[in-house]
Amino acid sequence: MGLMERLRASTKYIFWLLLISFGVLWGLSDTRMFDALMAGPRSLGEVDGQAISYEEYNARLQNYLERYRMESGGEQPSLELRAFYEDMVWDELVMERILDREMDRLGITVTDAEIQELAVGENPHPLVAQYFTREDGTIDRAALAAAVSAPENAEIWIGIEAQLREVRRREKLNAFLEAGLTVTDEEVRQEFRKENSTATVRFVRFPYAEVDDATITVTDAELNTYLKNNAERFEQPKTWNFRFVSFSKAPTADDVRRTLVDMSDLRADFAAAENDSAFLAQNASETGVSAAFQTATELGPELAEVFSIANGQTTEPVLIGNQVVVLKRLASRGNAVRVARFTRTVEADAFETVGRQAAAADDFAAFADDSSFEEEAQRSGLTIGEGTASAENPLITGVGQSRVLLKALERAKVGQISDPVELDDRFIVFEVTSIREKGTRPLEDVRPQVEALVRQEKKREATLARLNGLDRSAGLDAFAAAQNRTIGVAEDLRANTTVLPGAGVEPAVVGAAFAVAPNTVSGVIAGENAAFVIEVVNRTEADLSTLDAGRMEQMRMRLQQAKAQQYRQVWIERLKESADIRDYRSLVLR
């Protein structure tokens, strides 16, 4: 049977299949299922099922950006600074939801009576008190009562009460966490002993590196075993290797000429200005009127023209570094002059320079996608750079610090030519050459490091075995002489340090200095980089009678703060690990 005959025979089945499929699709369209599928995530993320909305995220982000603009005198944040704020806002919102969940679980609440006390009680919270405190430090109760009762302030007070409730809830959480972290009197006394006990020791040092490499053999099996047993030391985050080309946003010669022309056009107005400070402010000068008289040496040879013009006249524009300067001579005294300085930094024109480079980056990305990255770079005369980036680390090898580029890499696939990525100083087009997921690095990547560590361990074992077989009963001097070693001395060694002067970081040796009996030769001590034999010359124990109640309380508070901070960090990390955090930013904000 031919193909056409088989199709004709199957027509009725095809008809019914199409009819049923059409009915299913029609029914699904009524459920708006396809709208939901096409819409994607409806929030920026979720924490244990609780959404983080774009509106909340954007409102907080804009608050930070506006605060920056106010503090910087209207300056716009750079792309990298904006990316920093974006990450900070996300982290804040995630952490707030995690802590809210935990406070709900612990039953931590704030009553309306507590809010009333915080707002208008005997000691209002600083959030409120800052607006109603007199110069003598007392609260203006009448002004506070009027502000609370004014109908036009109703919305404001709702916001203040919400803030107070959240602050008070967090304070209760901190109190709950710190309640179980007491510092005992014995812990304080122990810390006092560590800080105030001293010892003088003599020591003989045997570096592990002295063991001949030729006597040490390392097998692949030993390397694999070491890597398996110490996997956490070789953990790596998700890593991207990529190549890239750059399109600079630096000012060009045309930008310099443009700035020189603009400043030259303003010279006549500058000379005619009666209020120089107002003129400079209106024309965005970066400098102003000087009150001091300056000599030719102080002004520099580039601005010598000011000494050959009359008071009230201006110099020709001069490029000094990346700034164009015009001086107006105001007065003279001897060989010095007083000037008003009109200065502008040369900036890349947003359309002519930056726009042209953006278009060039766009063209490169399009043509490279049609041909290849190497071919287009060669055709365009661009140098290909190589870079490596790791998740959550904005310091990118080959590029520098860039959260913006890291976010673009997080969305990229291997072999995909990126769209142009705008950084503060350039546009970048990249191609990811490889992606390595989070996990233990394979042996072939870390073989040199692992082999060095295994060799060090074997040298350590060989050194300890040799020294443990030697006689030390004749004393440290005789032992050192027999081994052709010099004796080092560490004076006034304190128990709370880890550094042995002349030997580096050696906590085991410092610990032994406060455990070995004075005037006796110790056993062999396995240090970080060497083995040691020591003798304690003298040791002064801390005098606990000098630990009065006031000093004891100060030390207790310091230890309490350190313990609470350490516990809080571990507690928060465990909460984050247990939370179900969904991040949709790369989809929603694309």
Is residue 70 classed exposed, middle or buried when 0-12, 13-18 and 19+ CB atoms within 10 A define those classes? exposed
Q: For 280-297, how does the pLDDT look when each residue is reduced to its tens digit (9 = 90+)?
A: 999 989 999 988 999 999
Report CA torsion sign: 34, 35, 41, 47. Answer: negative
The amino acid at 122: E
How are beta strands 393-397 and 385-390 bridged, if at all?
antiparallel
Kindly list the distances between the CA atom of residue 491 and the CA atoms of 77, 237, 523, 534, 536, in Å, as whole numbers in the listed order: 53, 44, 20, 13, 10
Q: For 577-587, how does the pLDDT look when each residue is reduced to its tens digit (9 = 90+)?
A: 999 999 998 88
pLDDT category at 15 given cuts 50, 70, 90 is very low
Q: Is residue 492 classed as helix, strand or coil in its secondary structure?
A: strand
* 8 Å CB contact between 460 and 208: yes
Report CA torsion sign: 260, 262, 267, 273. Answer: negative
For residue 98, give the nearest of 455, 578, 468, 537 by alpha carbon. Answer: 578
Q: Which residues touch 458 (CB under 8 Å, ≥6 apart)? A: 211, 216, 218
195 has pLDDT over 80: yes
Poorest-pLDDT segment among 31-45, 141-155, 228-242: 31-45
Could you tell me the two tokens for 189?
């006394």
* The predicted structure's pLDDT at residue 129: 84
Rounded-to-integer distance, Cα 188 and Cα 547, Å:
10
Is residue 182 within a helix (H) or strand (E), and if so which, with residue range?
A: none
Output the pTM of the full model. Answer: 0.72
Poorest-pLDDT segment among 168-182, 534-548, 555-569: 168-182
Could you tell me the two tokens for 358?
């953006």
Mean pLDDT, the chain, rounded, equals 89
Which residues face 331 on adjacent strands? 338
For residue 165, give the nearest of 109, 123, 214, 216 by alpha carbon. Answer: 109
Rounded-to-integer distance, Cα 467 and Cα 524, Å:
7
Q: What is the number of H-type helices and E-type strands within the chain?
A: 23, 20
1 has pLDDT over 60: no
How are beta strands 525-526 and 530-540 bridged, if at all?
antiparallel
Is residue 239 classed exposed, middle or buried when 0-12, 13-18 and 19+ CB atoms within 10 A define those classes? middle
* The predicted structure's pLDDT at residue 219: 94
pLDDT category at 364 given cuts 50, 70, 90 is very high
* The predicted structure's pLDDT at residue 16: 43
Q: Is residue 514 classed as helix, strand or coil in its secondary structure?
A: coil
pLDDT category at 27 given cuts 50, 70, 90 is very low
- The total number of residues shown for the chain amounts to 590
Rounded-to-integer distance, Cα 533 and Cα 222, Å:
30
Angle of the 549-578 helix axis to the 79-106 helix axis, nearest 10: 100
Instruction: Please give the DSSP secondary-structure letter assigned to residue 314.
Output: B
How are beta strands 198-207 and 530-540 bridged, if at all?
antiparallel
20 has pLDDT over 70: no
For residue 237, give the nearest of 345, 384, 131, 392 by alpha carbon. Answer: 392
* The predicted structure's pLDDT at residue 17: 42
How are beta strands 393-397 and 400-401 bridged, if at all?
antiparallel
The amino acid at 428: I
Q: Which residues touch 298 (CB under 8 Å, ≥6 apart)? A: 336
Q: Find the largest Cα–Cα distance for the chain.
A: 115
Q: For 316-345, how does the pLDDT look when each residue is reduced to its tens digit (9 = 90+)?
A: 999 999 999 999 999 999 999 999 999 999
Quick one: average pLDDT of 377-397? 95
Poorest-pLDDT segment among 49-53, 173-177, 507-511: 173-177
Quick one: average pLDDT of 131-143? 85
Rounded-to-integer distance, Cα 206 and Cα 544, Å:
37
Could you tell me the two tokens for 258?
């443009």
Q: For 230-272, how does the pLDDT look when each residue is reduced to its tens digit (9 = 90+)?
A: 999 999 899 999 999 999 999 999 999 999 999 999 999 999 9
Q: For 419-433, how does the pLDDT look when each residue is reduced to its tens digit (9 = 90+)?
A: 999 999 999 999 999
Which residues face 327 on adjacent strands? 341
